[in-house]
Amino acid sequence: MELASQQSPRPQPVTGNRAFRLAHWVSDTFNGLRLQAARRWEFVPQTIGYQGYGSTEWVRVLGRVVLTTKPNPGSREEHAAKNGNQNIRGWRAFTSVPIQFTEVEIEIGGMTARVNADRGGLVDTIVKVSLAPGWHTAVLRAEGTEPAEAQIYVISPDTKLGIVSDIDDTIMVTAVPRPFLALWNTFVLNERARMATPGMAVLMDRLMVEYPEAPVIYLSTGPWNAAPTLARFLSRNMYPSGALLLTDWGLTQDRWFRSGQEHKRRNLELLAEEFPNMRWLLFGDNGQHDEAIYSDFARQHPDSVAAVGIRQLSAGEAVLAGGHSDTGDHTGTPVPWLYSPDGAGLAKGLLELDVL
């Protein structure tokens, strides 16, 4: 059965002053040159499927279309890729080149939708389809690529609790000066050198035992290029499977740089709108803007938040992060807030709230 096309963002007129329009022209020209070079170097087109989520009436499908290098057949690199055992520097994730605005066919539950990838090669779209609660598979196809599968978790209408967690300094220890954090984590650090925050995986596991139907959303300002690396980190450190909601760097239609804070606020608002009868456990840290973002969200949607757990940075981490807040501003909201330097302390607080 064929669905009407579900459109992802297509090219739109660029707004702003002459310098902003020039920047877009330079960006598009540079990406065009990268595409030419990648094809000359025999990069291969690839569709990547990311884990999504949805209700019994719709699903959010995420994916990306890029040109990327292909491991030599039979090589150690190919074997590691197939088994998820890569041990690589982060910069290698950025050698791929996005294929902009290409058409992607999505098939799920006997339905088919056609969308267009955005400027960064990203597909982020809603497909209306009736599915039973649980795991489903969406198949994404773009011209010239092998089909890619994306796991979709369909949330039951009876589910009352979900989990949203930040990544950097919340479930993954970074300990890098904040101005250089993104560059270091994505371009330099060997992915197996990333350390899990003590006790957080155990806390997440206990929550999944208590609430086996709870969806898990990892909401981060990290770039989509890092998604495979982050997914391997989560699996390697025994974190529960969940949808990664990341972002792209660089120009948008009306901004010089994408706002990480706006990205988090917008997705939290979407979750509140999409699942009005659910409450969310929100996990973050006190070294970024998580407290302010969660405070605003809790004030606007107090019935959508079960509790907020904030991982407190150590003195050294706080210095590197540019400071921290001890308590944040939680005035005007009845939502309980928990603070601890590790997952064990947050688990103790959730036990006292009778959440665990």
Domains and CATH numbers, the chain: 18-31+43-154 (2.60.40.10), 161-352 (3.40.50.1000)
- pLDDT at 339 exceeding the cut of 50: yes
Q: Please tell me the chain's helix, strand, coil percentages from 3-state DSSP, rounded to the nearest 5.
A: 35, 30, 35
Q: How far apart are CA 159 and CA 147, in angstroms?
A: 32
Q: How far apart are CA 316 and CA 295, in angstroms?
A: 25
Structure confidence by residue, pLDDT tens digits, 43-72: 788 999 999 999 999 999 999 999 887 655
Can you give the pLDDT at residue 287? 82
pTM for the whole structure: 0.83
pLDDT band with cut points at 50, 70 and 90 for residue 31: low
The pLDDT of 145-155, averaged and rounded, is 96
- pLDDT at 98 exceeding the cut of 50: yes
Structure confidence by residue, pLDDT tens digits, 310-326: 999 876 555 444 444 55
- Find the distance separating the first CA and the last CA of the chain, reported in whole Å: 44
Can you give the pLDDT at residue 50? 96
Residue-by-residue DSSP string for 181-206: HHHIIIIISBGGG-EEPTTHHHHHHH
Separation in Å, CA 89 to CA 95, 174, 210, 251: 11, 15, 37, 25
- pLDDT at 182 exceeding the cut of 80: no
- pLDDT at 220 exceeding the cut of 80: yes
The pLDDT of 132-142, averaged and rounded, is 97
- pLDDT at 276 exceeding the cut of 50: yes
pLDDT band with cut points at 50, 70 and 90 for residue 295: very high
Which of 201, 217, 115, 213 shows the shortest CA–CA distance to 166? Answer: 217
pLDDT band with cut points at 50, 70 and 90 for residue 155: very high
- pLDDT at 5 exceeding the cut of 60: no
Residue 195, number of CB atoms within 10 A of its CB: 12
Give the tokens for residue 173. Answer: 């220890």
- pLDDT at 226 exceeding the cut of 70: yes
Provide the mean pLDDT of the chain: 81
